Structure 1
């Protein structure tokens, strides 16, 4: 190959390129793209961290809400137990009062049918009880002798035994729960 060279022409260097005016260079474009990608990556990482923290906080709140629901159920069950205990006590007191009123009504009815014999001859002939008050040890044998005489002291009547009142039928709005230790609880049925 033949080369024609003109000594007046400037030589062209292959290593340097001139940038046209108004056109960005490749290095600047690549730098802008890398900076933009780094900024987007930084924003995504920040959003991921906040999202992760928010999810953890949400899990903690959900766990506490579940515990709160269980706590509410336990409190409700205890309140029902206490309410049932009070109700059973009130029902027992009511049945005791009804039994006492019935006993009084029966006693009044018997008194109306059989009036007491206040002015009978047997009541007048009975000896009055002897009351001896002693303060010395010497008079103690005399008191013991007076106590031995059946006519000297009138013994009070022993109280009559009451027949236990029949238990009222169970309320269908409550469930009866008997535990192994013998305690009985009632829970309201919703």
Structure 2
């Protein structure tokens, strides 16, 4: 038990050291970081909470999380990466996920991204959805029901902000996706999409 906790702490320290050394464009856009992927996989093998969707573990799962690493990028950053010369213009600032409970079988999720667009300033995109699950208390079915877009500092004017635009998704157009929480502790969480992409989250620090 003590040896496992020591190994876990050592792996996490090395993982965070390597992730912190990356620029956001490296950590959150598609890139090959095989050593980091290997560290994450080792942590998954010694996951202290293998069934994170059990009611008793929801307090650990819920809250505000910062995405610090995505092995193959995210849906948003993969699209940005396809734009020619995006590194010279579009800058990702942060990606986050907020999880809140509805009941013991449903979680409300908000995925957000903040980025700078050349000439247009700072913008924010958010997707709101729900997690539901059954007997498998590691895998959730995710459905998104609304998207939001807002210019938080249009044209790089700090004192300006435009109203948030909500784009609801009609029920018959909503797609489902599987999301596996493959590692969870008090300060770190790892998720995997249906294709096995790794997403490493770190709990947001409140001031």
Common topology (TM > 0.5): no
Q: Which structure shows the higher helix fraction?
A: 1
Alignment TM-score, normalising by the size of structure 2 = 0.16
Alignment TM-score, normalising by the size of structure 1 = 0.17
Task: Answer with 1 or 2: which has the greater Rg.
Answer: 1
